Amino acid sequence: MTSPLLSSLKNGVRTLTFNRPERANSFNLELILALQNALDESARDAGTRVVVLSGAGNVFGAGHDITEMLRAAGQISYREHLQRTYNPLILQIRRIEKPVIAAVNGMCAGASLGVALACDLRLAADEAKFVVGFSRIGLVPDSGVSLFLPAIIGIGRAAEYYFNNEPISAETALQWGMVNRVIPFNLMEAVQAAAEQLAQGALGAYGKTKQAFNASMYPRLEQVLATEADLQDEAGRSLEHQLGVEAFFRTRGSNPSSAAKSAPG
């Protein structure tokens, strides 16, 4: 069976690759739990000095696999889902005392955007695009997006791109400070070189600086994640969400399962 997460270590750089290309590297529970475990291991492993997150193929990640949540309708609420999955994952990324780099190799949307924004650095391929998502199916931003995105690009821009659900190009993301660099070719080679340079640096100071940045920029991160979960719970029970899910499946030439009509909060 193919692993949903690939892991490799080279010259102090641990690369974790989301490996669901047939589903646009969308997250499911198996992938999220594997990523949580891999980050725990990376935090403990002295040989891992920098962590890189990326996606297999030409997509970073399409957010959460909506079909998984629909199959779980009535069994788990959106609040419980976030408390088990993305909330602890986002906190892990911010709290690991090692640099974490998002190598954004293509489309990055929804919860995948939250994961990328939680990283310390973002290097993007020139064809990468960023989509806030959520609004299309009547949901609110989660996975820390409601905090990270306004902090990085400003609340006006964040609101506009949540409302209109339009993609943000890599070049625009660079201009707005959303990514650190745009790489025109050989993204992973450039990321590996940058990560190896960081791996030779003062790891202890990196960790303490992350603590300082968290305290100054994201002191209410846990509270925001909890609020997102509460609001998502409400949104998930709304008619807007039901209609959004039905429209989502219509555009793909398929019908939502009966679970979609009673999707959990």
CA gap 20, 27 in Å, rounded: 8
Q: What is the mean pLDDT of each run of 10 residues along the chain (265 residues)?
A: 94 98 96 98 98 98 88 80 97 98 98 98 98 95 98 98 97 98 97 98 98 98 98 94 87 52 30
Q: Which helix (H) or strand (E) holds 79?
A: helix 78-84
CA gap 22, 43 in Å, rounded: 30
CA atoms within a 13 Å half-sphere pointing along the CA-CB vector of 137: 27
The domains found in the chain, sorted by start residue, are: 5-186+204-262 (3.90.226.10)
Looking up tokens 């806030």 gives 132
- pTM for the whole thing? 0.93
What integer pLDDT is reported at residue 248 of this predicted model?
A: 84
Buried-state track 173-209, b at ≥16 Cβ within 10 A, e below 16: bbeeebbeebbeeebbebbbebbeebbeeebeebbee
* Residue pLDDT, tens place only, 84-104: 999 999 999 999 999 999 999
Bridge-partner residues for 13, per DSSP?
10, 50
User: DSSP letter at 132?
Assistant: -
Please say whether the dihedral angle defined by the alpha carbons of residues 152, 153, 154 and 155, taken in this order, is positive or negative: negative
